[in-house]
Amino acid sequence: MTIAITGATGQLGRLAIAALKARSAQPIALARDPAKAAGLAVETRAFDYVSADPNALMGVDTLVLISSNDFNDRVGQHRKVIAAAKAAGVGRILYTSILKGDASPMILAQDHIATEAALREGGVPATILRNGWYTENYTGALGAAIQHGAIIGAAGEGRVSSAARKDYAEAIAVTALDASHAGKTYELAGDAAHTGVELAAAVAAASGKPIAYVNMPKSAYAKALQGFGLPEDFAMVLADSDACAAKGALYDDSHSLSRLIGRPTTPISETIAVALRGA
């Protein structure tokens, strides 16, 4: 079985390549700049979401479509990749969607909902991996949180079932290697959910510094994110995600992810510890 992964030089893509290699697979890395994939030690082909050349997908049995990080025309890019896969005779597409899919109220979900529809219409069998929140979405800002003694957000007492990015990467590997997952949709999330207060407590315990969770109205949180340098539109998307999390949009207790990968998902304390060691 020949497996190819789009966005192979991104954070999730690199981990998915590693997870497949750990299972004795030799995936193909698809990258806009193949030179950046040199360290992956696998076959690399030039491929991007905009041109989506079908020739780069020739001979591929299973294509892992990691969602684009270009929010300007995300769905349009995904449609091009789906069309290229069909033209190249790809047998199955795995797509990294969002938790709850078309039931999610998050602005961030809209592109994923449209992509899932495009996959249904595209005529290529698909496996939908509806990924929940990455714990790394929080650990990327640990330095500032520790410096200021606070983690800010708009999630209130909402519980977030986050998991480490490596957990989701392993789910990609497991489902890519087994054709029986064709036509299936999985809601994937961490085994243990946490509130903002619990997240702050975990960071405090790991760092030895006092950390509080400061809940803010959505609009104020968006303005704060802009103050940190985020573009206005993206800040609004993140603030909306937090506000939706307050209502359960990022909570899931199905344990589908741990069942797929055959082990418990990574505790937030472990991901926090890894991030602090790398800081």
Q: What is the pLDDT of residues 45-64, one digit of tens each?
A: 999 999 999 999 999 999 99
Output the average pLDDT for the chain: 96
Q: Which residue has the higher pLDDT, 143 or 92?
A: 92
Q: Name every residue whose Cβ is closer than 8 Å to that of residue 166 and which is 6 or more positions away in sequence.
A: 15, 19, 266
Q: 110 — alpha (psi -120 to 50), left (phi > 0) or beta?
A: alpha
Please state the pTM of the whole predicted model. 0.96
Name the DSSP letter for residue 83.
Answer: H
Whether 120 shows a pLDDT value over 90: the answer reads yes
Cα–Cα distance, 145 to 82 (Å, whole number): 40
Per-residue pLDDT of 130-168, as tens digits, reads 999 999 999 988 998 999 999 999 999 999 999 999 999
Whether 71 shows a pLDDT value over 90: the answer reads no
* Beta bridge partners of residue 163, listed in sequence order: 134
Per-residue pLDDT averaged across 248-259, rounded?
Answer: 98
With bands split at pLDDT 50, 70 and 90, how would you rate the model's confidence at 118? very high
Whether 279 shows a pLDDT value over 80: the answer reads no
Whether 262 shows a pLDDT value over 90: the answer reads yes
> Which domains, ranges and CATH numbers included, belong to the chain?
3-131+164-188+253-265 (3.40.50.720)
Per-residue pLDDT averaged across 202-216, rounded?
Answer: 97
With bands split at pLDDT 50, 70 and 90, how would you rate the model's confidence at 70? confident
Burial group, residue 276, by CB count within 10 angstroms (0-12, 13-18, 19+): middle
State the pairing for strand pair 150-153/92-98.
unpaired
Would you list the DSSP string of 193-231? -B-HHHHHHHHHHHHTS--EEEE--HHHHHHHHHHTT--
